Structure 1
Amino acid sequence: MPDRVALAGIVYVLRKGVAWRDVPSQVVGCSGVTAWRRLRDWTEAGVWPRLHAALLTDLRRADLLDLDDCAVDGSHIRTLKGGITWAPRPSTAPGPAPSIT
């Protein structure tokens, strides 16, 4: 199966939110199982970070990358559990109950 066809199947699942078994092979060109296997293989081979870097490089080279409006969330950037600080952190544990006597 050509890579572009398998990629079309992966994108179809991501955009439509359907299960792999529900990928219409007559529309996409491959079965959902084929697309899923290719996704698994490409993920194990580290294709996605390299593809992302190549896409960003091409967009920068063509002056088509505009980062004036962008968002970053924790699913893409590693967090350091509150950052590096030496200040004491307040406890979030429940304190003792106040005395009623």
Structure 2
Amino acid sequence: MGKLRYVAEQTFALLHHFKPLAVRWERRTELHDAFVSLACSLICWRLLKRTRS
């Protein structure tokens, strides 16, 4: 349980760095989902870029 909680808390902390996602400004859920997907993609890209270097 502790390992899963750490992963979830770390993911939310990384997503919180994207300010538009911290407070939902968009009225349409499709736009919010798109920004969440984009933020997750950027986080994964940064992690992969760091491991390749």
TM-score (norm: length of structure 1): 0.24
Q: Which has the higher contact order (CA 8 A, sep 6+)?
A: 2
Higher Rg of the two aligned structures: 1
TM-score (norm: length of structure 2): 0.40
Which is richer in helix?
2
